[in-house]
Every structure is written in structure tokens, then in C-alpha cells.
Amino acid sequence: MTKLPKNHGKAWTPSDLKQLKKLAKENTPTRVIGFKLGRTESSIYGAASDNGVSLKPTNQSPYNRRPK
């Protein structure tokens, strides 16, 4: 059986949301954010969506772009 994260099912605190915003701004991968906050990846996506936090990477790879 899989071990649940330490904060699984608990409410988000203001300090958790502050840390989520900070990690998202630093372009931290979602899985790593979940590990650091003790939450699942889906709960990270949900909290980010509810609070207007963008999890999209700010520095896209130049290799996936078409020449103009």
C-alpha cells in the first residue's frame, strides 16, 4: 500500500499557500512542490488553480519552437 503524504487531507494554511506561490515563482517542478509541502500532485494543482497561481514554467526550452 502506498504511503500518504504527511498533509494529505488537511486544510491549506496561509503559510502553505505562501510557500506554494514562492516555489511556483522559482519554477520548481510540481512533483517537488508536492514533496516539500507534504501533499499530492493533484492537491498542488487544485490549490494553485483556486488561488490563481501559475505552475507553467517561465523558461521554456528553445528547442520546441518553430522558426519564424
Per residue in 12-28, pLDDT (tens digit) is 999 999 999 999 888 88
Cell numbers describing residue 1? 500500500
* Cα–Cα dist 44/42, whole Å: 5
Are 40 and 68 in contact by the 8 Å Cβ rule? The answer is no
What pLDDT is recorded for position 16? 92
Cell numbers describing residue 45? 494543482
Site of grid cell 497561481: 53
pLDDT above 90 coverage of the chain, percent: 44
Tell if the pTM clears 0.95, that is, is over it.
no
Can you give the residue ranges of every domain in the chain? Answer: 14-51
